[in-house]
Structure 1
């Protein structure tokens, strides 16, 4: 087919997520390699969001492709009740990467059902029913994960499920209080969280679920001491701590798991995306030894037809090996420093850039109308004039592919990006932000 035929078939027959369908104009992609995609006319696009922040090793990774092909030749599928080599091997590899309190893995198909099963496991283990999560969060759009989600993508699921309670995460840039230090902010936010725990009844709270670093809602990095403080509250009130590492895990922050940046040990970890970089759908829940042992004597009431799919797990084994053999973590640390420097330069240069936040190759640019007042470029939950869509369109014209959410632009490229490639693409961002300064400030 031609590119136009592919696009028209897509528009006619495919319902695309998070979109008003009649406005869609998808780019038909003919081939892709490394960090680049090419349309049917040969135009090159740099994938500066690693697709949905999952394609950590880029397009065309031969190690993963070969592992999938080899598994196809053995068998493509066996039910979860069978002992399957790549499933067992990947589970052990994951436990070996996690802190010493972890014991087993329950595999899922993606991040949403990973979070669904994480909260089920926490509720079964504790016998309690309430689950805390944050307003500025995205945990998936299925019914349970969508109720965990705090931002407007949860609205179509309301009225929601009883027992899901929201609290605010430490978003210092937007806080009305001018804190003298990160430690002061941490003290404030932890006190408010503990107050809410008491008012909701600690004896009824099964779990606190957090994206270790808030992802699509702005790459909000917790202040010093916050994550250990939440860990301490969970211990004090016998609450399961669940870290959602779906987006931030597997090298994205310069550590294998984002919680390693904060010297904590969660009880459960949900994961997906970077575990095999989307070559075949895969997710899961890593479970502490203590919780895993509970299910030695109690029914684990969780199940999925494709739990631990052999092709997905074979891809996962190859992907984790590739991270290690290619020294991806060190590479992210080094290139991430360059990204931070370039983002700080954009913040200094452009009136429309209110804040930049970054850790490893995980970053967001927050756009404002006024740096002093911090008035966002678009109102929260609203963009009637399509301002952010227009900005994304301008980037796309320059071959810079990413996404926006609220008043944020994201720069989260594949972890294999080079310093030279990063600098080349950030020039395009600089040029588009200059247009934003002129048209909207």
Structure 2
């Protein structure tokens, strides 16, 4: 069975046999350029460094598992120390769940038990996970699958609207309008009932939405003003995707109270995530339990993989590589937007980009919760025929190749997508 797609879709899903570099191969020998790092997670591609493989194998042979409630593995202490050194400010208390959903569940429980308050504010179009609380924290259609009955979650508008605009407003005015709206929500919900503001540093699945200049600084100040915790969800963009180690580091002076990450922590080689908090929050749990746990939290084999993966990112300046290639990604996205009338606009940051499609009259061809429109079926066929593989979430089309992609491979990928987009132009009636 599949998860976010109807089960019958498996009949059109390729059987992947192996990967090399930034390419995936199916059982028919077809070579695909991975254009979205699968689920924006295979950040260093498919030639894992020997150090990662050796450390993982060694950990399996010496201590394949220890339950975190019974003992502390050496690699857990080592990874905690490394992350404390890499995270800014006094972010130093951390747990290591198995996936992004679990990390965000831990963050929600942490915030509620620390503050004694219950409500959590999230953006519309955000995604925080598929488990009970994390699914209701999510701001897109996927929270409806759970019935939308879990209490305590309040949705705020992202400062980048999809269906309307503040005509004539400057970026500074748009930022202030968005902050005013958020503050009014906080006042009407009651600051004494709000435990946390939980935002993706950059909304990923919802379209690579980057907050405007000054917005995240304003959120940080507002959280301080009303004694609310600020949480940055880095599950998709953490560990280099935006050209910084963490996405929130794109916003000068912003240090969240809680940070969650996953995906890139092991470059998806093994399941692992992280929930980190500031020192005063960590100390508050010295005399009481966090209230969240998992059998496989702090799994030593996964942490051994993560430790060497993070070392590889730092020692090989993968983030610097992203920074150097980011202008090429942005210019190529502009080129394709100018070349194809079906593309309304694009956004990009680091090695993370997204196109928005539209109809000739300017309206959206579909929403994310509706069945895939036949126009995008034709586009997907052309996308695959041109040797690309990746996520498609109409009306958004993501570009997020592995962070280690070369400039030549990046340009080749855009040439392939350029050819595929002619099918979308025709199918949408341009």
The answer to whether TM tops 0.5 is yes
Which residue pairs with 2:395 in the alignment?
407
SS in 1 for 2:359: strand
Which residue pairs with 1:391 in the alignment?
379
Residue 332 in 1 paired to residue 322 in 2? Answer: yes
Q: Distance in 2 between matches of 1:402 and 1:154?
A: 23
Residue 378 in 1 paired to residue 384 in 2? Answer: no
Residue 18 in 1 paired to residue 7 in 2? Answer: no
Which residue pairs with 1:128 in the alignment?
117
Count of residue correspondences: 425
Which residue pairs with 2:424 in the alignment?
436
Q: Distance in 2 between matches of 1:405 and 1:135?
A: 16
Q: How far apart are 1:173 and its partner, in Å?
A: 5.8
Assess if the C-alpha contact under 8 Å between 1:382 and 1:406 holds in 2: no
Pairing partner for 2:22 from 35, 38, 44: 35
Deviation by residue 1:366-388 (Cα, 9 ceiling, x = unmatched):
11113xx6312224532453433
Which residue pairs with 1:366 in the alignment?
356
Q: How far apart are 1:172 and its partner, in Å?
A: 4.7
Deviation by residue 1:88-115 (Cα, 9 ceiling, x = unmatched):
1111111111112212111101000100
Assess if the C-alpha contact under 8 Å between 1:381 and 1:406 holds in 2: no
Pairing partner for 1:305 from 295, 304, 313: 295
Deviation by residue 1:347-367 (Cα, 9 ceiling, x = unmatched):
111111111100000110111
Q: Distance in 1 between matches of 2:284 and 2:209?
A: 34
Q: Distance in 2 between matches of 1:23 and 1:323?
A: 35
Residue 283 in 1 paired to residue 273 in 2? Answer: yes
Assess if the C-alpha contact under 8 Å between 1:147 and 1:154 holds in 2: yes
Which residue pairs with 1:161 in the alignment?
150
Q: How far apart are 1:159 and its partner, in Å?
A: 3.8
SS in 2 for 1:117: helix
Deviation by residue 1:271-315 (Cα, 9 ceiling, x = unmatched):
100001111100120111010010112222121111110110000
With the length of structure 1 as denominator, give the TM-score of the two structures: 0.94
Q: Distance in 1 between matches of 2:21 and 2:417?
A: 20
Q: How far apart are 1:179 and its partner, in Å?
A: 4.2
Unaligned runs of 5+ in 2: none
Which residue pairs with 2:91 in the alignment?
102
Which residue pairs with 1:3 in the alignment?
none
Which residue pairs with 1:423 in the alignment?
411
Q: Distance in 1 between matches of 2:150 and 2:17?
A: 43
Q: Distance in 2 between matches of 1:22 and 1:173?
A: 31
Q: How far apart are 1:319 and its partner, in Å?
A: 0.5
Deviation by residue 1:147-181 (Cα, 9 ceiling, x = unmatched):
00010011011242111111111115643322432
Q: Distance in 2 between matches of 1:339 and 1:398?
A: 19
Q: Distance in 2 between matches of 1:310 and 1:278?
A: 15
Q: Distance in 1 between matches of 2:300 and 2:367?
A: 45
Deviation by residue 1:236-277 (Cα, 9 ceiling, x = unmatched):
100000000000110000000000000200000011000011
Pairing partner for 2:35 from 45, 48, 55: 48
Assess if the C-alpha contact under 8 Å between 1:392 and 1:403 holds in 2: no
Assess if the C-alpha contact under 8 Å between 1:109 and 1:282 holds in 2: yes
Unaligned runs of 5+ in 1: 1-14
Q: Distance in 2 between matches of 1:299 and 1:379?
A: 42
Pairing partner for 2:127 from 133, 138, 143: 138
Q: Distance in 2 between matches of 1:385 and 1:245?
A: 31
Pairing partner for 2:205 from 216, 222, 246: 216
Bigger mean CA deviation after superposition, 400-409 or 305-314? 400-409
Q: Distance in 2 between matches of 1:306 and 1:18?
A: 24
Deviation by residue 1:297-355 (Cα, 9 ceiling, x = unmatched):
22221211111101100001000100011110110011111000000111111111111
Assess if the C-alpha contact under 8 Å between 1:125 and 1:291 holds in 2: yes
Q: How far apart are 1:53 and its partner, in Å?
A: 0.5
Give me the CA root mean square deviation: 1.3
